[in-house]
Chains A and B, each alone.
Chain A
Amino acid sequence: GGGGAEEEELTAQETALYDRQIRVWGVDAQKRLSKAHVLVCGVNGTTIEFCKNIVLAGVGSLSLMDDHIVTEDDLNSNFLIPHDESVYGGKSRAEVCCESLKDFNPMVRVAVAKGDPSLIDGTFIDRFDIIVLSRASLKTKLFINDNCRKRSKHIAFYSVDCKDSCGEIFVDLQNHSYLQKKPGGEPEQQELKYPSLQYYNLNRIDCIYIWFVSIQEAISVPWKDLSKKTTKLYYAMRVLESYESSEGRDPGETSLSDLPAVLALRKDMCDRMSLDESRIPTSLLERLLAAGKKEHPPVCAILGGILGQEVIKSISCKGDPIKNFFYYDAADGKGAMEDIPPTPED
């Protein structure tokens, strides 16, 4: 996050409301949260879970960008949209969701940002500390990520996508420094049993510096250079991304009828980058294609929770961030982190 926390204390209202979470991340982190400005491009089941979490946490402001007019399909995994056409009819997804989100925490400024993510310019994104992108084309992801990195202001970039019951989160914090509690027992347990041992014993805290790469750089890594344990979801998402790109489709605008073409593309990409095709199972590609834009509500909650905590960590500069991809698949219940390109072992 930006400059250090200022001298003003939290108000009595904030202390009362945020009591339980201040006990997790501290007063300083809470102050930083209250000054953070977040932009979310793409309203869907997963991003609104994320929005719920950070609004409750008390960020300074949240702007939602999604001009698509609400359709019935949008109601399926989005609990912020009331099932009443007289309420949502003719309005954009962003408009309707903003109204609901405001109720969750009157201290957070929630607003609609009208526009097309693929057209936003540098001065616009300077208003924000965090940008989250979802269901965007590869071109838009590259464009916005590149813009974030070009600004002199430090802007953290995240993309999140949920297809069927799988999820991908990408994190780019550029240069990031944060505090990390040194390992050695369970600090929280000790605090509970011996609370007189104040946890700001500076000997137990390290300041860590890490560097993140851009999306461009990450996805350009030839597949043969990746670890053999890299999750199949990484590859599957890249194939679909590439397919949607070359066919000029909107993200998620796919179906099972695309399977033959997608399998051909898989062969092509695997040949080019020396990866065995069996690493990207046909059944997985089928699932993702058939899903289109459909998301499973429990998976939205899981991904929204993880992403929410990641953003809170980066704003507060406390805690290890995901570096740099996270994958979840409800089929096996596994959550996996991938570091791409792999950080060389020293």
Chain B
Amino acid sequence: MAAMFGGIVGQEPENTRYDAQISVFGSKLQNKLEQAKIFMVGSGALGCEFLKNLALMGISCSQNGKLTVTDDDVIEKSNLSRQFLFRDWNIGQPKSTVAATAAMAINPKLHVEALQNRASPETENVFNDAFWENLDAVVNALDNVTARMYIDSRCVYFQKPLLESGTLGAKCNAQMVIPHLTENYGASRDPPEKQAPMCTVHSFPHNIDHCLTWARSEFEGLLEKTPTEVNGFLSNPSVYVAAARTAGDAQARDQLERVIECLHGDKCETFQDCITWARLKFEDYFSNRVKQLTYTFPEDSMTSSGAPFWSAPKRFPRPLEFSSTDPSQLNFILAASILRAETFGIPIPDWAKTRNKVAAEAVDKVIVPEFQPKQGVKIVTDEKATSISSASVDDAGVIEELITKLEQISKTLPPGFHMNPIQFEKDDDTNFHMDVIAGFANMRARNYSIPEVDKLKAKFIAGRIIPAIATATAMATGLVCLELYKVLAGGHKVEDYRNTFANLAIPLFSIAEPVPPKTIKHKDLSWTVWDRWTVTGNITLRELLEWLKEKGLNAYSISCGTSLLYNSMFPRHKERLDRKVADVAREVAKMEVPSYRRHLDVVVACEDDDDNDVDIPLVSVYFR
């Protein structure tokens, strides 16, 4: 097993703070640790624990070493139960800078740079080639799979070790990704959580999850997106209108309709207007739409294959009858009115927040028109549909009419008119956001006879909250830091590393060696996800194909980024064969290779002589 901890170097203590480590693995390795160049992605719960460990271990704690930590998030109250480098007075400040400062207090020699960029394809000008090439290791301190997959792909590309860890409640895990030794993070992921189909969320929910997804989506649409669209139009009407014309589709039409509704039909000038809006929205969502749905698809209706339409898991909905004596209904109307008022900058009367008789009377004052369901209304039932907007034949024409109407309306608006979009903030219990979302979800659940949930549970689901505790977080980072010694020491074999899974609730502690990467073989060649093939010279596409042919591979498609440079299926691509790869990339893929980079990468799809697909590594063409 690893020679890391199992013996002693027998070195005399040097009376430094690192004596424990020096006596076990010597001052030469300690120096290496101090000069390490590490990229830590994320500065939240895991990040704080890592910074503390790294400061104590002396990693990147010298002028030659460097720890770069990045996180685009700011500190909020609920962070403080784990993220112990932050204090109450740091709320609102960037996590990375506060954490870095606190870590330097633990070890003033820590050489750390704190950034606020989200590590993603959009920040590759910040985290550029030179930055990546200079790293010794990358430490993930993330809370979502998307970011992890992105960092994994960068580490594979630049051939850098990645130390990954995560927690979920009392569970934690640590996973080592070492170039050429182990599989990468993306190699074995759980299948992604299946997202409910759009039509389920929109018309056929059968559990509270669907209702909450819908509720969050309506919240964002009504209170954030539409006001943002309104402001977009008002700040530059001609640009906005031109964009709508260019799009010319059902979505653009829907958006215009909503902006007009906001500025004309449903425009609010007083708080009573907001109450009216909320009451009518209630009627629309929880009564009228249900009546329309069950009119279009009555309880006994059949599908085209002769089966009952409303069979499980579909639940047959019933419309709600509003009553101001029902506290949950009244609360919902008031909360929604308050947020509506906020978007229009209308002052909120005190009685709205205390919900008493005055409030109930105000709601009862609203005149609610009778509703009659109509024939021929299209309702999307296809599970594969990705949009709810039903395209119609003449979207472009309708859009023109809407644009004209919008321009007329804008002339009637007072000068300086604008709206205040609301961004969903789940953790502020006084802002009414969760009241509205939970209200939306529970009323909908009531329609479909789905059990309702309390605000706490609603917040958990709608806010996509991950339950988290300090103990599991501390443990995860301890496990990773033990592996980090091995990474920075270098020269360890795959069996020396440890992936760990632990569950402090049980308690369960389980370790395993990391899995080697999958090897692909072709004739006498073999490679893994870590390999890249290099071709030097400013070659042509034809020369590239020939180079691959020599390996017994018949390339039929070459792409760069998201653009196709060459495909054997397209006759006109034959013209490109004698042109330089770099030139075609520049022209077709708009690939401008910066001056500090001498190569570009292409993805080549190949077959062997038996017409079997062969998954080959990325090919780097060093054309400069």
A→B interface (CB under 8 Å)? 12, 15-21, 23-25, 49, 52-53, 56-58, 72-73, 75-77, 79, 82-83, 103-106, 164-165, 188, 193-196, 256, 283, 286-287, 290-291, 294-302, 304-306, 308-310, 312-313, 319-320, 322, 326, 329-337
7 A-B pairs with C-beta separation under 8 A: A17-B78, A23-B465, A105-B80, A298-B479, A299-B482, A301-B53, A332-B1
Among candidates A23, A79, A308, A334, residue contacting B55 with C-beta atoms closer than 8 Å: A79
| Chain A residues with CB under 8 A of B482 | 165, 296, 298-299, 330, 333
Question: What is the CA–CA distance of A19 and B88 in the complex, to the nearest angstrom?
Answer: 15
Query: When A16-B77, A320-B506 are in contact, do A83 and B108 touch as well, CB less than 8 Å?
Result: yes
> Does B207 count as interface, using CB distance less than 8 angstroms?
yes
A20 with B474: CB separation less than 8 A? no
B467 with A299: CB separation less than 8 A? no
With most chain B CB atoms within 10 A of its CB, the pick from A15, A23, A83, A301 is: A301
| Nearest CB of chain B from residue A260's CB, rounded to whole Å | 16
| Chain A residues with CB under 8 A of B207 | 194-196
B475 with A16: CB separation less than 8 A? no
| Chain B residues with CB under 8 A of A15 | 429
| Nearest CB of chain A from residue B580's CB, rounded to whole Å | 51
With most chain A CB atoms within 10 A of its CB, the pick from B55, B77, B88, B106 is: B106
Query: When A104-B84, A193-B209 are in contact, do A16 and B78 touch as well, CB less than 8 Å?
Result: yes
Query: Interface stretch among B340-348, B377-385, B386-394, B453-461?
Result: B453-461
Among candidates B19, B52, B453, B506, residue contacting A196 with C-beta atoms closer than 8 Å: B453
Question: What is the CA–CA distance of A12 and B428 in the complex, to the nearest angstrom?
Answer: 10
| Chain A residues with CB under 8 A of B20 | 76-77, 164, 291, 294-297
Query: When A23-B467, A195-B460, A331-B2 are in contact, do A302 and B479 touch as well, CB less than 8 Å?
Result: yes
Among candidates B19, B170, B450, B477, residue contacting A24 with C-beta atoms closer than 8 Å: B170
Among candidates B17, B467, B469, B507, residue contacting A75 with C-beta atoms closer than 8 Å: B17
| Nearest CB of chain A from residue B468's CB, rounded to whole Å | 4
| Nearest CB of chain A from residue B187's CB, rounded to whole Å | 22
A20 with B504: CB separation less than 8 A? no
Of chain A, the residue at the smallest CB distance from B194 is: A193
| Chain B residues with CB under 8 A of A76 | 17-20, 56
Among candidates A24, A56, A194, A300, residue contacting B467 with C-beta atoms closer than 8 Å: A24
| Chain B residues with CB under 8 A of A57 | 81, 469-471
> Does B6 count as interface, using CB distance less than 8 angstroms?
yes
For chain B, the bracket of interface size reads 35 or more
> Does B367 count as interface, using CB distance less than 8 angstroms?
no
Query: Across the A-B interface, how many residue pairs have beta carbons closer than 8 Å?
Result: 213
| Nearest CB of chain A from residue B334's CB, rounded to whole Å | 20
> Does B243 count as interface, using CB distance less than 8 angstroms?
no
Question: What is the CA–CA distance of A335 and B18 in the complex, to the nearest angstrom?
Answer: 25
> Does B472 count as interface, using CB distance less than 8 angstroms?
yes
> Does B29 count as interface, using CB distance less than 8 angstroms?
no
| Chain A residues with CB under 8 A of B505 | 309, 313, 319-320
A53 with B471: CB separation less than 8 A? yes
Question: What is the CA–CA distance of A293 and B608 in the complex, to the nearest angstrom?
Answer: 63
B478 with A302: CB separation less than 8 A? yes
> Does B272 count as interface, using CB distance less than 8 angstroms?
no
| Chain A residues with CB under 8 A of B19 | 73, 76, 294
The 8 closest A-B pairs by CB, nearest first: A301-B478, A335-B509, A305-B475, A23-B467, A294-B20, A302-B478, A298-B481, A309-B504
Question: What is the CA–CA distance of A305 and B5 in the complex, to the nearest angstrom?
Answer: 21
> Does B414 count as interface, using CB distance less than 8 angstroms?
no
